[in-house]
Structure 1
Amino acid sequence: MCVFKKPGQADALGDLAARYAAQAVDGATPAADDADRARGSARRKLWTLGNHAACPVTGVCLRLPELQKLARKADLPLDGCSEYEMHIALVSECRRRTPLAEMVQRELDSRYELFIGQSLRLKTTEALAKWWDRSCMGMDWAGVFWAVLTHSRCTPELEFAVLGQVHMLQHQVGMAARVDQTRLQTLVQENHQLGDELIHAQQRLQTMGQEQVLRKERHQAALMHLRAELIRAQTERAQALAELEALKQQTPELPQRQRLLDDNRQLAEHNQQLRRALNLATQAAWPAPATPGASGPTEKAADARALPPDEGLPIHDRSVLCVGGRTRVIPIYRELIEDKGARFLHHDGGEEDNAGQLGPLLQSADVVICQVGCISHNAYWRVKEHCKRHGKPCLFVETPSRSALERVLGGCREPAPAALCEVGGDALVDKAR
């Protein structure tokens, strides 16, 4: 704040400054005032300042404990006084040339010697005022304040302006102190809250750390157990391999024995098939007994019954694929086909078995039997197309029963091509639909 006002404010400021100057002259010590005027450029003393200067000087430039220490040296009776009462007594002493005022003067001159030295280079009131304007907002403005007030070029007008500005600064500082106090209390509360949260967080971290340690210990124990199991399994495997190698060395003919056992099993199965075929051939060789007095159609029927089942489509030692059929008749079909010395294959026609398995089974079959009433439309056309393409016999059975299969197998007495069998099959499919 500049101490020199605009022309419009000069009258009001002049009246206030004149009144302040008159009070300063009335309150000054005559002997001291004469001595200062004699020196001309001598620095002003605390007790020569205006009546309002002692209060801000003692309140701004020195702390209360320091003033109490100086008062005890000056033998001032301040025991039992409040801080405000002590402040009033000290200000009253500093307005006059007393031992306490001289002690305060020496203390402030010593403390703010640097600022006093800077002010001595200023030779005019204007320069002193500008220096105050530049420095009054700094951190060490108390030293500048003392140096300006005690400067020989500090006029009553400048002193009035400086004291007024310091007075307002003290109000602002007080307000800021109250705001800071409120903020400090808020920060203290937040600090306590954050401290509690920090304690809880530390406790949680400690608990989590303990749980992590326990988990790590469990994992390490499990890892050690797995490693032990792995070592045990590897040891057992090595022992088993060693025993196997020892057995191989003790019985070098073991692979040959295994091959012989497989061959023996295959020969036994083939022998069983031959025995069944022989039994069937033996039974077929015996004619059915003729009924006495019977003739004509009865004899023809007897001759038809006497025909061996294998006089139909020859399936002996061939692979017969049955596509479709009820689950309960599959064992009957298997028995009937295997009794004729054939190998029985089966596919349910897309009901449960994978449709992709039908192709390989058709490739491996020599004869195909199609259950037209128990087969999907797609499977039927695949069977028909495959048999036409490869010339395989394809027999169609309308009713899923043993007798129906026997009739189909006995109906083709010569190995008919697949196309001829498919005609009857189409008729059966149409009839089933």
Structure 2
Amino acid sequence: MHTPPFRLAQTSRFKLSSDELDGSRIRAADPCCMPAEVSLPNATRRARLTELDSHLHCSIIGTCLSTHELRKLVPRFTGLDRQHASDLEIHHAAVELAIEGGPGAKALHKLLDEHYAAAIRRFDKAADDEALLKLWDEALKSGDIPPAYWALMTHPYATLYVREKAFGELHMLSHLVGAANRADIRRLVALEAENAALKEKIERQQSRLQALSMQHDASLSALTEQIAQLTALATRQTPTDAADLEADLQRLRDKLVEADQRVALHTSRRETAEQRLLQEQGAAEVLRKSRDQTLALLKLVQGECDALERATVDAAHAIHGTGTRRASLDSVRGKRIVYVGGRPGSNAALKRLVEAAGGDFVVHDGGVEDRKGLLAAALPGADIVVFPVDCIDHDSMNMLKRVCERHRLGYHPLRTASVASFVELMARLHPEHLAQLNNPTPSAFCLRHG
């Protein structure tokens, strides 16, 4: 395991088994890249936290345990102040406890096993490293990473190569999350700069068109005045000046032809400039709509992230009985929520959140595995019906709307099947609004004619 860019504690001195040394493919000539030596007394049991490579402790504790949980556990084994110690000091002390072993490491290991017992049972079915990596890849796709990471790192068949791969993918995932946010900001700044440049270009073209139009009008006025003067002069000429009059008329005709050509040229240029102006205005309108859509999407995603973070923190306070804050999902207490569609991983997380807040959460997959006939039977008696528009078929969605209209039930579409979209919707639906869902106004929807 490569050494991270900083150390949080001293490296523990354990011995690594010969099989893991052979599989690690690390040259003995590079001591800086050598893993900490670890020896497992029994290869058929799960590894303890203190027996893992000390470089893994930082990622395990930082990924699988929240700061609130560490702040309750670490001060019992260290001299840190629970109220005034920083998050980094709490994290650093937890990593030191894991490396040193003893009661603190045992308490951390027990807390992790209790939190992720279901994932440990699921990973226990793996009989080799390929099965472990397959389960790990499924966890990465579903986003349920902390339980899978702890179950994999302590699995009896987890070789050094498997742990290195999981550690590297988790490390790069943190970079990808930060890079995605930075890419959205850069794209928004680029769109705004391009929009400003297009506006400036349009203003310059409008000024140029106005100047050309004024120049054209001035030229026409001057020529008209000159023709009038020459015509008046010609009418005053005597018959003896007939030759001069003919010459003057020819000059006037030539100037008139030249003026017509110049007018035609300016007219063509003006029409070309107007067409280009219309194209630039259309492009600017498209860019403006794209920017507005991007800003709206960014605001919506930020709102979902903020709601999810508040719900997670408030739920942790409520579960541990701190009593200092109310959970953000208290609005669903005592309510029956029917969720149609979605993905199994996110549906399970939503069920845990709603049931932890005191609500009843009923899931119907829209007809993938559950029969569609059960959907109409599950909706009566629901306080609120929710479905993600990106993870439900049109037939189930239309039937759901008809049944909700028939029973006068309120239904709410979600932008995505993510936990964040559901939590943001629950934050917008205040208890007063949810109380009105039981007695909605009669609908004008006709089940036969629409």
Fold shared per TM-score above 0.5: no
Q: Which has the larger radius of gyration?
A: 1
Q: Which TM-score applies when normalising by structure 2?
A: 0.34
